[in-house]
Amino acid sequence: MTNPAPLTPDTARDSLRARIEAAERPNAERSLADQARAAADAAVDYTRAHPLTVIGGALAVGLLLGLATRPGRRVASKAVSAVGAAASGAANSAASGVKGVTTAGGAKVATLLGEAAMAYAMKLLDELLQGASDGQDKLGELCDGAAKTIKSARETTSKAARSTQTRAARAVRDVVGKVKR
């Protein structure tokens, strides 16, 4: 058996460069339109294979984007309030219905049990709505904090860019002054 000659760094680099160029050739030969068409076809195939996942993802992204804006948070707050009022009205209506049915039958124990069940359901509903409201408030605070951080970063970046521009202008003036001498 003969041992192959060891690769020198130059031949290894040339070999690697040739393999990279060979791998990039098919991508270079494809136009941007072909790549876009392939991506669109892949997206359509995925959507056909998993329609509920795509719809759920789109809804989630839309909801998060909506909640990230101030008007979206306002609308969500009104919606939570409206749902709470509707649920409270439905629970009160159900409670009065339970009272009407049980008093018609004359069963006081059933009336007490019905009222206790309705009180428990109302408590759970109130806690749920309070949790949703608290979560919405926290999201609003988080979005406001992120907006402040982004604004601060933008201002810092602008200051740094102006400072760099000033220093670069000075350096150019200094170099031009030295060249003229």
Arithmetic mean of pLDDT, 172-178: 80
Confirm if 102 and 39 have CB atoms less than 8 A apart: no
Residue carrying the six token digits 């993802």: 57
Q: What is the pTM of this model?
A: 0.32
Q: Considering Cα of 63, then 69, then 75, then 81, what sign does the dihedral take?
A: positive
Q: State residue 171's pLDDT score.
A: 83
Q: State residue 88's pLDDT score.
A: 66
Give me the count of residues in the chain.
181
Q: Considering Cα of 134, then 140, then 141, then 143, what sign does the dihedral take?
A: positive
> Rounded to whole angstroms, how far apart are CA atoms 132 and 63?
14
Q: State residue 28's pLDDT score.
A: 67
Q: What DSSP string runs through the chain?
A: --PPPPPPHHHHHHHHHHHHHHHHHHHHHS-HHHHHHHHHHHHHHHHHH-HHHHHHHHHHHHHHHHHHSHHHHHHHHHHHHHHHHHHHHHHHHHHHHHHHHHHHHT-HHHHHHHHHHHHHHHHHHHHHHHHHHHHHHHHHHHHHHHHHHHHHHHHHHHHHHHHHHHHHHHHHHHHHHHHH-
Q: State residue 99's pLDDT score.
A: 58
Helix axes 51-68, 70-105, angle to 10 degrees: 110
> Rounded to whole angstroms, how far apart are CA atoms 176 and 128?
71
Q: State residue 33's pLDDT score.
A: 75
**Residue pLDDT, tens place only, 35-83:** 778 888 888 888 888 888 888 888 887 777 777 777 777 777 777 667 6
**Residue pLDDT, tens place only, 102-154:** 445 555 666 666 677 777 777 777 777 777 777 777 877 877 777 788 888 88
If pLDDT is split at 50, 70 and 90, which confidence band does 91 have?
low
DSSP 106: T
H or E segment at 72? helix 70-105
Phi, psi (5° rounding) for residue 69? -100, 150
If pLDDT is split at 50, 70 and 90, which confidence band does 158 have?
confident
